[in-house]
Structures are given as C-alpha cells and as structure tokens.
C-alpha cells in the first residue's frame, strides 16, 4: 500500500510538473506590422524617414515588433485610399497627406494656409500640440505623427519672377486649400497625388507644380522644368506647406501589449516632431543643388512677394474660416490658436 501511495504521489507530482510546463508562457511572438505609402523606394520619405523610424521602433521593442515597409503603393490601391486602408485594417500603418481625402481632416488644414508656416520644426511642434486638443478627426487612428515639409516652391516650364506671371497657369496641387491658393493667384488648380507629377509635366498637362525641393529628386522634376521660384518675403521663403500623417490602425494599436504600445508612443507625436523637422529641412539642400545645376533658381523680389501675399493670405484664410464656420467650428479661433502656437514654438 505504501509503495502504491508513493508511486501515486510521484505520478501526481509528475503530471503537475508537465502541466506547469505546458502553462509556462512561450517566448514572446514577434508581431509584424505592414506600413504602406505612395513614394518610391529611392525617396527621402522612404530612405531618410520611414526606414530609420521603423528600425528604431523595432530595436526598442527588443525585436518583438517587425515593421515591413511597402513603398509605391505595392499593396495596391491609390494614394487617396491610404487613409481608408489604415482605418479599415487593410494595412497597419500608413504615411500620407490628410489632404488626399478632402473634407475629412479639415481642422489641421489651418497650418496649410498661405504664410502661416515659416519654420518646419516650429510648425511640427505646434501641430502636435494642436491635435492634442483638436484631434477628434483622427479618432479612428493611432496618430503617430502629424507634420509638414519645408514648404512649397514653384517648379515651372516658364519663369515666375512676378506675381502676374502666375496668372493663367495650370498648377498641380495635392489639397483643397492648395487649390484655393492657386485660384487666388489667378491660376487654375489641377488636383493630383505626387506620383502623377512626372506625367503631368512631361505631357504639359500643367505649367507648374508646387512641391518642396526634396520631392523633385525622386520624381526627376528638375529634368522636366527649367525654373524654380522661391519667395523673397523676409518672413517666409515658402508660400505655404502641406501636412502629412503617419497613422496606425486603432484596433491594431489597442491589441498590442502595453509595453509595445509604449514603444510606439515613445516614437510618436512631440517625441519625433523636432527630428522630422530637421531631416525634412536637410533634405531640401540636395534637391536645391540639383535644380540649380539643371535650371535657374529664382528668388521673387520682396515687392512681388508682398503682392503675392496680398493676393492670397486674407482671401484664402477667410474662405477657410467660412468653411469651418459652416461645419459648426469657430474658424477664426482655430486660426488664432494656430498662430499663437507657432509664435510660441518659433521663439
């Protein structure tokens, strides 16, 4: 009897050990995230921003997060569909322009209005602070970052030296506020995402495009036009900018363990706003150098730049305010709030 009890106890202990082993947590499984965007793999966006950001996140996660990046719409669809792809969980993370889906992300358009933006880093910091209060339009996403590029330069077939040179031109724009700006200058806006620019210029569908210098390199814009015009305004080298968002599917973010959410958070918002400003400003230099080698860099005189400001700043801003008021928001207050934040971070 004693031997039976001894062996029975040993059997129970063994089963307990096996059971305990089976309940021991497995090594943490790696989670793969798909990041989708529309720029080519040779672009600044892909090489200098998204790859370093993804590598930093993966390293800080201890290898538990793996981010696969798909440039040039490799996972299908068109650039304006990226916001929906992230919202609907078709992909996990996207990089795109909020303006590619007109009417959805309207509050942040304030930073795209004429002569609002003067400093990339300051605008990035102001934007991220602004969306902490006015980020309801991004409720379907984990907004990793919202930021701007250095600013728009005119790249044209014919020289733009005076404000009147723009009248009658057909100019490509990515956003509705950009369209309003072009209309205020007496030109015709042609809406299209960035990948369409080479075709539009080569076929003379447009006379000019408004993009930063860094975008001209992957698109080879400098090989298609001869003139590149910046403003001579003492306070603003660029007439306006465009906002971008790096955003994650909300449900996917919520499904991550807390410690991995923290890794994403540490590489989001104000934590990367300054870095984004610095790398996007630095990316302007090689684009500007290439444009100068193949064409003419023009700086519009202060007087003509002032004329352009008069033609666009108040009319476009008032138009945006009126649109926001129709939506039930205080457009004037939003403009003032943006300017206060920009002043604060420009100090």
Amino acid 234: pLDDT: 86
- 313: Cβ–Cβ under 8 A, 6 or more apart, which residues? 113, 114, 115
Domain layout of the chain by residue ranges: 31-149+242-282, 153-240+284-345
The residue whose two tokens read 């998204």 is: 50
**Burial of 249 per CB tally in 10 Å (0-12, 13-18, 19+):** buried
Whose structure tokens read 């910046």? 230
Residues whose CB falls within 8 Å of the CB of residue 147, separated by 6 or more in sequence, listed in order: 123, 124, 127, 128, 243, 244, 246, 273, 276, 277, 280
Q: 215: Cβ–Cβ under 8 A, 6 or more apart, which residues?
A: 43, 44, 149, 194, 221, 287
- 151 in Cβ contact with 119 (< 8 Å): no
The DSSP H or E segment spanning 273 is helix 270-282
pLDDT, residue 331, reads: 98
Q: Give the whole-angstrom CA distance, residue 116 versus residue 240.
A: 7
Residues contacting 8, CB < 8 A, separation 6+: none
CATH classification of 153-240+284-345 is 3.20.20.60, yes or no? no
Given this model, what pLDDT does residue 1 score?
40
Each residue's pLDDT, cut to its tens digit, for the chain (347 residues) gives: 434 333 333 443 333 433 443 333 344 789 999 999 999 999 999 999 999 999 999 999 999 999 999 999 999 999 999 999 999 999 999 999 999 999 999 999 999 999 999 999 999 999 999 999 999 999 999 999 999 999 999 999 999 999 999 999 999 998 999 999 999 999 999 999 999 999 999 999 999 999 999 999 999 999 999 999 999 998 888 999 999 999 999 999 999 999 999 999 999 999 999 999 999 999 999 999 999 999 999 999 999 999 999 999 999 999 999 999 999 999 999 999 999 999 999 98
Neighbours of 303 (CB within 10 A): 10
How many angstroms separate the Cα of 233 from the Cα of each of 105, 118, 180, 280, 282? Answer: 29, 11, 20, 21, 21
- Beta-ladder partners of 191: 173
At residue 4, the pLDDT reads 35
- 245: Cβ–Cβ under 8 A, 6 or more apart, which residues? 94, 95, 96, 97, 98, 105, 138, 141, 143, 144, 145, 146
312, 116 contact by CB (below 8 A): no
Residues 6+ away with beta carbon under 8 Å from 188? 168, 169, 170, 171, 182
- Residue 16 has a pLDDT of 40
Under CATH, domain 31-149+242-282 is a member of which superfamily?
A: Bacterial extracellular solute-binding protein, family 7 (3.40.190.170)
DSSP state of 151: -
Phi-psi group of 175: left, alpha or beta (phi > 0 → left; psi -120 to 50 → alpha; rest → beta)? beta
pTM of the model: 0.90
pLDDT of residue 102: 92
Residue 96: the pLDDT is 98
């Amino acid at each position: 009897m004693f031997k039976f009890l001894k062996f029975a106890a040993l059997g129970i202990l063994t089963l307990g050990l096996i059971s305990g082993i089976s309940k021991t947590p497995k090594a943490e499984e790696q989670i793969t995230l798909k990041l989708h965007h529309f720029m080519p793999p040779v672009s600044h966006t892909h090489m200098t921003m998204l790859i370093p950001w993804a590598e930093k996140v993966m390293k800080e996660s201890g290898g538990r997060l793996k981010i696969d990046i798909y440039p040039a719409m490799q996972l299908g669809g068109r650039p304006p569909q990226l916001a929906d792809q992230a919202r609907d969980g078709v992909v996990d993370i996207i990089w795109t322009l909020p303006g590619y889906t007109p009417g959805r992300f309207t509050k942040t358009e304030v930073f795209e209005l004429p002569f609002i933006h003067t400093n990339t880093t300051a605008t990035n910091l102001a934007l991220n602070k602004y969306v902490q209060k006015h980020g309801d339009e991004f409720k379907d996403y984990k907004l990793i970052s919202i930021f701007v590029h250095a600013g728009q330069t005119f790249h044209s077939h014919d020289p733009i030296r005076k404000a009147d040179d723009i009248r009658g031109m057909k100019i490509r724009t990515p956003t509705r506020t950009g369209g309003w700006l072009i209309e205020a200058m007496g030109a015709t806006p042609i809406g299209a995402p960035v990948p369409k620019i080479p075709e539009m210029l080569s076929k003379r569908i447009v006379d000019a495009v408004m993009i930063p210098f860094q975008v001209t390199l992957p698109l080879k814009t400098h090989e298609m036009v001869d003139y590149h015009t910046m403003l001579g305004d003492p306070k603003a080298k660029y007439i306006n900018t465009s906002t971008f968002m790096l955003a994650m599917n909300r449900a996917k973010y919520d499904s991550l363990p807390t410690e991995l959410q923290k890794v994403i958070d540490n590489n989001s918002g104000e934590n990367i706003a300054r870095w984004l400003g610095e790398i996007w400003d630095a990316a302007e230099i090689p684009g500007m150098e290439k444009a100068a080698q193949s064409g003419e860099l023009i700086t519009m005189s202060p007087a003509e730049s002032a004329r352009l400001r008069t033609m666009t700043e108040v009319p476009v801003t008032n138009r945006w305010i009126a649109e926001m008021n129709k939506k039930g928001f205080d457009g004037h207050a939003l403009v003032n709030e943006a300017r206060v934040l920009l002043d604060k971070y420009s100090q």
